[in-house]
Amino acid sequence: MVHLTIDHKPVEVPEGTTILAAAKSIGIDIPTLCFLKDINEAGDCRMCLVEVKGQRGFATSCIQKVEEGMDVLTNSIDVIEARRTILDLILSNHHRDCLTCVRNGHCELSDLARKFNVQHIEYEGEMTTHTVDDHSPSLIRDFNKCILCRRCVSTCNRIQGIGAIDCINRGFHSTISTTYDLSLNDVNCTFCGQCITACPTGALREKESIKDVWAALNDPDTICIAQTAPAVRVALGELFGQKIGTNVTGQMVSAIKHLGFDYVFDTNTGADMTIMEEAHEFIERLNNHGVLPMMTSCSPAWIRYAEKNYPELLDHLSSCKSPQMMFGAMIKSYFAQTKGIDPEKIKVVSIMPCVAKKAEILRPEMEVNGLRDVDFVLTTRELGRMIDYANIDFNELPDADFDDPLPLASGAGAIFGTSGGVMEAALRTAADWISGETLQKLDYSAVRGMEKIKEASVTINGQTIKVAVASSLKSAATIMDSIKNGACEYHFVEIMSCPGGCIMGGGQPIKNSKTQSSIDIAKRRSAALYDIDQASTIRKSHENPVVKAMYENFFGQPGSEVAHHYLHTHYHMHPKYNIPEDTQ
């Protein structure tokens, strides 16, 4: 243990602790900008400067370790003035269109400017101007708002293992960009959006679809149908001041109906259908010497990553479409037929925690009988903006239910939104089908949690099935490399692109670095989904009566020709997207 004083308060912390962490342990808040716990701890921005008595100059508290007897001042006049100067220099080369920025009210740079009472920029001078990269179907990169904090770079490298972006050039001309300064659409970016949630400003954002959705809602000849992913309901409330991990399902449905949608359905029902098809496919592979391990195909960023980096292993991917695409196809077929609606009049809007879903709906193969499965994708953040635009008081809304004839989803569908959830849902159904019994075992706790890679063995009818769950693309690479090397012994693998799963997707509410450092956001959102599962009367996908009715009346049985026509797809070494010309 090391003993020191911070702002005249004694503190005892383990050797190796940073000054920043030591200060936090006694309730002293030091401002930061580039710091992101366990992701970016490089001391680039210098906003966390402190004064150490007897030490020449200032110390960068996010990287400097404590020493025995150290006497630290975090708010001396000199420290405050130094931070003010640093902030002024950052702002001098920042396009300050804050009122029209998507991060207005949620920008860490703006928060610091307010804290330091910045009313004018002292160091006005030359300002760099950059072309906005909006060619990706999912993300927009606006370097004019970048502050070179490198949080996006560290996230792309350390968490995802992609390295699509880095710092190029030197000095005043330094920028965060791609190889040869190409668009994100033309490099190895997977559109996972983790860089967006890491960015403290508006330099990275999703490609917004709100105008298109408003147009559809205002077209009297269009039937607008919304479907909502499981992770959205445990995060949307945060945009309206509710606690992290609050389940706002009823208010969410109510808000969407207030926006003017004709029907609101639950993507969890699509997740139940995914399990029906995926479990059937897995059993077929297991019993008939098919390609193993079979790997889940729900995450479009993971699919793009596999197509670009492991094209020779694409046969390992399940042929099932993701829940949003399956459900979109079901809406324009089964639902349209049930209601007697011309499917060409239907527009399906998916509300997702993920920006890669925007690219997924543009894949050429994501259509059936000439109709796109899904027409538009809104992120959780975009839905929050639409609710604000419509002047809806979200917190005062009464609960509302999902609409008939697709009102039910199982608890298994709900846990799709967290790491391990897809695997657990699949095991519940596969175990029943393999054993030919209705098993009482529902909870597969070995695949739960936020570990990067989780492993488990499940014995069914005397047969041991080895499974694994990988969270983040860097973890996915570990498993893919083991398959290439012939060292993989798994039968079934779940891959989620984002650390913790969809609950931490690139389209979810953005939390500042202080919140990310002090609260386990993934754990809280995940717990809310497991609570939904635990409270559900139906906890197995194949026991959902709505799903049973769809198979009886339309699809026949899992793996049927009709099911393959609507619910399955294929993958490409070089994936293409049908990007509308006006967005290129």
- Chain segment 214-264, per-residue pLDDT in tens: 999 999 999 999 999 999 999 999 999 999 999 999 999 999 999 999 999
Q: Read off the pLDDT of residues 406-450 as tens digits, 9 standing for 90 and up.
A: 888 999 999 999 999 999 999 999 999 999 999 888 899 999 999
* Residue range 159-183: mean pLDDT, rounded: 90
Kindly tell me if the per-residue pLDDT of 583 is higher than 60.
Answer: no
Token pair listed for 134 = 């909006």
Q: What is the pLDDT of residues 509-562, one digit of tens each?
A: 999 999 999 999 999 999 999 999 999 999 999 999 999 999 999 999 999 999
> From the candidates 62, 149, 502, 541, which is the catalytic residue?
502
Helix then strand count (H, E) for the chain reads 20, 19
Q: Indicate if 318 belongs to the active site.
A: yes
Q: What is the DSSP string of 468-528?
A: EEEESHHHHHHHHHHHHTT----SEEEEESSTTSGGG-TTSPP--HHHHHHS-HHHHHHHH
Q: Is the pLDDT of residue 146 over 90?
A: yes
The answer to whether the peptide bond before residue 405 is cis (omega within 30 degrees of 0) is yes
Amino acid 118: pLDDT: 87
**CA-to-CA dists, residue 146 to 127, 131, 202, angstroms:** 12, 12, 8
**Catalytic residue of the set 51, 206, 281, 424:** 281
378 forms beta bridges with 351
Task: Provide, rounded to the nearest whole percent, the portion of the chain with pLDDT above 70.
Answer: 99
Active site annotation includes 451: no
To the query of whether residue 360 is one of the catalytic residues in this protein, the response is yes
Sign of the alpha-carbon torsion through 214, 584, 327, 333: positive
Average pLDDT over residues 83-94: 92
Among 41, 67, 208, 365, the one annotated catalytic: 365
Catalytic residue among 51, 108, 238, 278: 278
Instruction: From the candidates 51, 360, 424, 494, give the one annotated as an active-site residue.
Output: 360
Q: Can you give the pLDDT at residue 28?
A: 95
pLDDT tens string 24-58: 999 999 999 999 999 999 999 999 999 999 888 89
Reduced to 3 states (helix: H, G, I; strand: E, B; else coil), residue 466 is strand
Q: Is the pLDDT of residue 389 over 60?
A: yes
Mean pLDDT computed over 353-381: 97
Report how far apart, in Å, the C-alpha atoms of 70 and of each of 8, 11, 16, 75, 152 are: 11, 10, 13, 16, 33
Using 50, 70 and 90 to split pLDDT, how confident is the model at 573? Answer: confident
Catalytic annotation present for 321 = no
Catalytic residue among 24, 357, 454, 540: 357
- At residue 584, does pLDDT exceed 70? no
Q: How does strand 223-228 pair with strand 263-266?
A: parallel
Per-residue confidence (pLDDT) for residue 544, from 0 to 100: 96
What are the CB-based long-range contacts (under 8 Å, 24+) for 123-129? 123/88, 123/89, 123/92, 124/92, 125/92, 126/172, 127/92, 127/93, 127/95, 128/93, 128/172, 128/173, 128/175
365 among known catalytic residues: yes
* pLDDT per residue as tens digits for the range 452-505: 999 999 998 889 999 999 999 999 999 999 999 999 999 999 999 999 999 999
- What the chain holds in terms of domains, given with CATH numbers, is 2-75 (3.10.20.740), 92-206 (3.30.70.20), 210-567 (3.40.50.1780)
Q: What is the 8-class DSSP label of residue 66?
A: P
- Provide long-range contacts, Cβ within 8 A and 24+ apart, for 337-342: 337/554, 338/405, 338/553, 339/405, 341/223
Residue 25 confidence (pLDDT): 95
Is the separation of the CB atoms in 397 and 251 below 8 Å?
yes
Is it the case that residue 137 has pLDDT exceeding 70? Answer: yes
77 pLDDT higher than 70: yes
The whole-angstrom separation of Cα 287 and Cα 242 is 48
502 catalytic residue (yes or no): yes
Residue 357 falls in the annotated catalytic set? yes
Per-residue pLDDT averaged across 288-315, rounded? 96
Nearest Cα neighbor of 145 from 165, 130, 156, 164 is 130
- Chain segment 104-132, per-residue pLDDT in tens: 999 999 999 999 988 888 887 778 888 99
pLDDT of residue 441: 83
Q: pLDDT tier at 582 (50, 70, 90 boundaries)? A: low
Position 576 pLDDT exceeds 80: no
Q: How far is the C-alpha of 459 from the C-alpha of 466, rounded, in Å? A: 9
Selected catalytic residue, list 156, 224, 298, 354? 298
**Residue 12 backbone phi and psi in degrees, to 5:** -125, 120
**pLDDT, position 580:** 64
Q: How far apart are the first and last CA of the chain?
A: 57
Q: Which of 299, 318, 350, 410 is catalytic?
A: 318
* C-alpha closest to that of 2 among 46, 56, 64, 60: 64
Supply angle C-alpha 555, 561, 563, rounded to 5.
Answer: 40
Tokens read off for 430: 């596969």
Distance from the Cα of residue 1 to its chain's centroid: 38
Query: CA–CA distance from 530 to each of 99, 149, 240, 411, 419 (Å)?
Result: 39, 36, 23, 8, 11
